[in-house]
């Protein structure tokens, strides 16, 4: 029988992480600073190198559905992020500045090889065979962090989604202006318990074995799994056997397209940490659910303010 970390492990990790933010002086940020700048803070505890793409939509419109996000250069946009692709080594931490009002999705590519020109491939999360994604979305299956930053006094909306499948565990931890907000995501290694019909198997050697777990939509292409056709509404598209596997392992993440009630969160924050493979051992077994509430608070995210 596998021995798992105590149920408080992930919460202790997050508390320690937030304390380290205070040590770095981020508490100097004020409500006024939120009006002008946000930070995305990427942290990897995976035992392998990650390549992070960042696909963003820069119009001031939080109503656009996340699965239509793409990089644009027109409209009433904000400055682009400095990069749409970067490398994150095990144990490395990178902060990137951004601006209020844009929406984006972030994921990790694994098993990547790129040449000096930036051309190459990844076993999971590939985006057109380039280091810089330049608006191209992730090839499923991929674990996604999706966020819309509020402009002015608007709240941020954020989630972790496995609607397009799963490749590795991640959590997102907001740093709220008005007090704590809910972390979300998943610490479980779903690849270990992935049904055979959903498995994506990697190459031999270090990157072999199950490297990702498909969604039922991607695996079978049926409307009832894809929430399309006559199933394109919440009353007809219901959780399936396969989406329930994801939900049991990761109760705060999207498991299918209409899984909004327990999966969308709000906050007024000035920084979001996106932590890949958050456990000390890098991965966690899929039959051990997220260890209790990461933060106690009201439904859908915000605590205080």
Write the CB contacts of 183 (distance below 8 Å, at least 6 apart in sequence).
Answer: 14, 171, 172, 173, 174, 294, 295
Q: Would you say residue 60 lies in a domain?
A: yes
Which residues of the chain have a pLDDT value below 50?
1-10, 12-33, 56-79, 205-206, 280, 282-305
Q: Is 229 left (phi over 0), alpha (psi -120 to 50) or beta?
A: left
- For residue 81, the model assigns a pLDDT of 55
How much is the pTM? 0.74
Q: Would you say residue 305 lies in a domain?
A: no
Structural domain span for residue 182? 9-276
Considering its fold, how many domains does the chain have in total? 1
The Cα–Cα gap between 67 and 59 comes to 15
User: Residues 274, 172: contact at Cβ < 8 Å?
Assistant: yes
Q: Would you say residue 3 lies in a domain?
A: no
Q: Would you say residue 95 lies in a domain?
A: yes
pLDDT digits (tens, 9 = 90+) for 200-251: 998 754 456 899 999 999 999 999 999 999 999 999 999 999 999 999 999 9
């Amino acid at each position: 029988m596998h021995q798992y970390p105590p149920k408080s492990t992930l919460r202790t990790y997050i508390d320690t992480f937030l304390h380290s933010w205070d040590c770095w002086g981020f508490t100097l940020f004020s409500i006024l600073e939120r009006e002008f700048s946000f930070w995305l803070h990427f942290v990897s505890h995976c035992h392998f190198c990650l390549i992070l793409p960042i696909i963003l939509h820069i119009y001031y419109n939080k109503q656009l559905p996340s699965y239509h996000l793409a990089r644009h250069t027109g409209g009433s946009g904000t400055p682009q992020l400095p990069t749409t692709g970067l490398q994150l080594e095990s144990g490395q931490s990178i902060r990137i500045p951004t601006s209020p009002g844009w929406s984006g999705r972030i994921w990790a590519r694994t098993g990547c090889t790129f040449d000096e020109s930036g051309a190459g491939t990844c076993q999971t999360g590939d985006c057109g065979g380039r280091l810089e994604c330049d608006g191209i979305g992730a090839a499923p299956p991929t674990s996604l962090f999706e966020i819309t930053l509020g402009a002015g006094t608007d709240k941020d909306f954020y989630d972790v989604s496995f609607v397009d499948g799963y490749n590795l565990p991640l959590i997102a931890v907001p740093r709220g202006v008005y007090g704590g907000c809910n972390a979300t995501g998943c610490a479980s290694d779903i690849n270990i318990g992935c049904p055979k019909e959903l498995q994506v198997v990697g190459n031999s050697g270090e990157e072999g074995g199950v490297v990702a777990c498909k969604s039922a939509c991607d695996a079978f292409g049926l409307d009832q799994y894809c929430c399309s056709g006559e199933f394109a509404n919440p009353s007809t598209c219901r959780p399936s056997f396969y989406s329930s596997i994801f939900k049991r392992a990761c109760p705060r993440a999207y498991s299918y397209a209409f899984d909004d009630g327990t999966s969308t969160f709000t906050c007024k924050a000035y920084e979001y940490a996106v932590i890949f493979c958050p456990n000390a051992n890098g991965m966690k077994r899929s039959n051990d659910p997220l260890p209790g509430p990461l933060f106690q608070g009201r439904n859908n995210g915000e605590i205080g303010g």
